[in-house]
Amino acid sequence: MITEPRTKRSLPIPGWAILLVAVAALVVATVALTATLVAGNGSFGMMGGRPGSMLGGGSYGGNGSAGMMGGLGTGSAAQPGVSGFAAGTVASPRVIRVYAGPGYAFSPSSISVARGETVTFVVTTTGPSAHEFMVGPADAVASDAPGTPEVADIGMMQAKSLTYTFDGPGPYAFACHATGHYEAGMRGTIVVVS
Ligand SMILES: [Cu+2]
């Protein structure tokens, strides 16, 4: 009696089971979307929440894939010149995530800052070769001038931070001066928005 429906139906899975799977898939999709939104909010929280822990140019590890998700979240944050933008201050720098590599490139390669604002760059190396991150006046960065603010030896999936205040005349730039990297194009521009 129990086996009768199985032998008669050409479809081995009952209709209600297909419906159940469809509902389950919807739930999973909703949860995944919610998790993505929460991850984005988390990065906003870091931007305004605990800047003290990011000061000083020290490194802090352990933000591998989670850090990448946060990076996606910051993409929708208000940029300089846009309504709702909050400029970083010395007491509460704005956090900007930068990815070094893979290859000899930074992402993003162009970063907008407000004139006079203080920014904490959190630089994560994504490829196998170690990178550096130097930021400052464009001529000093281009010539790798001694004393230009820099974090070096950022290994794969490692993050190091550097805080800088854009209170000079500019123009500004950033670059990696690991051997051969700058020449290969590993540099970026800072756009100062007044
Ligand atoms: Cu490099």
Q: What is the pLDDT of residues 95-139, one digit of tens each?
A: 999 999 999 999 999 999 999 999 999 999 999 999 999 999 999
- Cα–Cα dist 113/193, whole Å: 6
Q: Is residue 26 part of a domain?
A: no
* Residue 122 · residue 109 · CB < 8 Å: no
Rounded to the nearest angstrom, the distance between the alpha carbon of 89 and the centre of ligand 1 is 28
21-44 average pLDDT score: 40
Q: What is the pTM of this model?
A: 0.63
Q: Is residue 176 part of a domain?
A: yes
Q: Is residue 14 part of a domain?
A: no
CATH number of the domain where residue 59 is located: 2.60.40.420
Both tokens of 135, joined, read 């930021």
| Residues measured by CB to lie within 5 Å of ligand 1, the ion | 131, 176, 178, 181, 186
Rounded to the nearest angstrom, the distance between the alpha carbon of 132 and the centre of ligand 1 is 6
Give the per-residue pLDDT at 110.
98
Which of 134-145 are b and which e, b meaning 16 or more Cβ less than 10 Å from the residue's Cβ? bbbbbebbeeee
Average predicted confidence (pLDDT) for the chain = 75
Q: Is residue 30 part of a domain?
A: no
* More reliable by pLDDT, 124 or 53: 124
- Cα–Cα dist 139/156, whole Å: 28
Q: Is residue 13 part of a domain?
A: no
Rounded to the nearest angstrom, the distance between the alpha carbon of 188 and the centre of ligand 1 is 12
Q: Is residue 114 part of a domain?
A: yes
Rounded to the nearest angstrom, the distance between the alpha carbon of 66 and the centre of ligand 1 is 22
Q: Is residue 106 part of a domain?
A: yes
Give the per-residue pLDDT at 78.
84
Q: Is residue 143 part of a domain?
A: yes
| pLDDT higher than 50, residue 72 | no
Rounded to the nearest angstrom, the distance between the alpha carbon of 65 and the centre of ligand 1 is 20
Domain count, the chain: 1
Question: Exposed, middle or buried: residue 26 (CB in 10 Å: 0-12, 13-18, 19+)?
Answer: exposed
Residue 103 has a CB neighbour count (10 Å cut-off) of 13
Q: Which amino acid is at 85?
A: F
Domain coverage including residue 110: 51-193
Rounded to the nearest angstrom, the distance between the alpha carbon of 6 and the centre of ligand 1 is 63
Residues 146-159: tens digit of each pLDDT: 999 999 999 999 99
